[in-house]
């Protein structure tokens, strides 16, 4: 069985400071891992993905995530937050034998203070 | 050109009514999905179709019936709407069933009154 746990329901940072959104996963098979972002009243946009290639994954808008198998983690980071980063972020796991089914974490709301 | 488009964006209806949400993707993908986002923003898969064939049917009430006339379209019909059906419904598509990177539509906010 697969699952995803996002360790913080809400993270607040000041503009220009680093962002860390934490995610742990559980999977019986080699997982694919994703981070999606949802701005208010918008759809979901793919930020980045890990699919068994490089463990450090770069995404859009300066975001990165590192796959750590020993820690079963896939934390999302950004060196310097921007006001436009304020949104809901979802960590997502899937495996190739699940027909494309995505398992979502509970979401982390990121607030960015001026 | 919108990759995955859903209509309508907002839907307000009374309990007991029947309604449909339409979804179209122009990405040439084989696999399409319906996800439901509840009031706590939790997202869960409902259905998945691969080349018009149903491959995932989670524990969804029979009142929900997906229909895929071709691989570019996946519609969701809901009978006898209940208050608890109020949610945001997202359509998504991926290249193939074993390539789970999904592209999502903008969502349909359904409010049952």
In chain A, what residues touch B96 (CB-CB under 8 Å)? 100
DSSP per position, B15-41: TT--EEEEEEE-S--SEEEEEEE-TT-
pLDDT (tens, 9 = 90+) of chain B, 113 residues, equals 679 999 999 999 999 999 999 999 999 999 999 999 999 999 999 999 999 899 988 888 999 999 999 999 999 999 999 999 999 999 999 998 888 899 999 999 999 99
Who among B94, B99, B107 is closest to A43 (CB)?
B107
Does the pLDDT value for residue A72 go beyond 70? yes
- The answer, for A102 touching chain B at a CB cutoff of 8 Å, is yes
SS3 state at A99: coil
pLDDT at A103 over 90: yes
Residue A32, min C-alpha distance to chain B (Å): 8
Count how many pairs of residues, chain A against chain B, have C-beta atoms within 8 Å.
68
The 10s digit of each residue's pLDDT in A4-16 is 999 999 999 999 9
Using CB atoms within 10 Å of the CB of residue A62, give its burial: 0 to 12 exposed, 13 to 18 middle, 19+ buried.
middle
Q: Determine the pLDDT at residue A71.
A: 94
Residue of B nearest to A97 (CA): B98
């Amino acid at each position: 069985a697969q699952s995803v746990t996002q360790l913080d329901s809400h993270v607040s940072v000041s503009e220009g400071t680093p962002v860390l959104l934490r995610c742990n996963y559980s999977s019986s098979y080699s997982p694919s891992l994703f981070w999606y972002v949802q701005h208010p009243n918008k759809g979901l946009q793919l930020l980045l993905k890990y699919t068994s290639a490089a463990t450090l994954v770069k995404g859009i808008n300066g975001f990165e995530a590192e796959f750590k198998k020993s820690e079963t983690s896939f934390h999302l980071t950004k060196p310097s937050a921007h006001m436009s980063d304020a949104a809901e972020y979802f960590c997502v796991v899937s495996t190739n034998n699940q027909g494309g089914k995505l398992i979502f974490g509970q979401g982390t709301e990121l607030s960015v203070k001026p | 050109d919108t990759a995955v488009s859903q209509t309508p964006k907002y839907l307000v209806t009374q309990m007991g009514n029947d309604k449909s949400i339409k979804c179209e993707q122009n990405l040439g993908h084989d696999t399409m999905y319906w996800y439901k986002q509840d009031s706590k923003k939790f997202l869960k898969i409902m259905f998945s179709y691969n080349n018009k064939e149903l491959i995932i049917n989670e524990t969804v009430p029979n009142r929900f019936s997906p229909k895929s006339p071709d691989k570019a379209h996946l519609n969701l019909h809901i009978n006898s709407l209940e208050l608890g059906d109020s949610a945001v419904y997202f359509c998504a598509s991926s290249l193939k069933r074993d390539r789970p990177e999904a592209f999502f539509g903008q969502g349909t906010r359904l409010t049952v009154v």
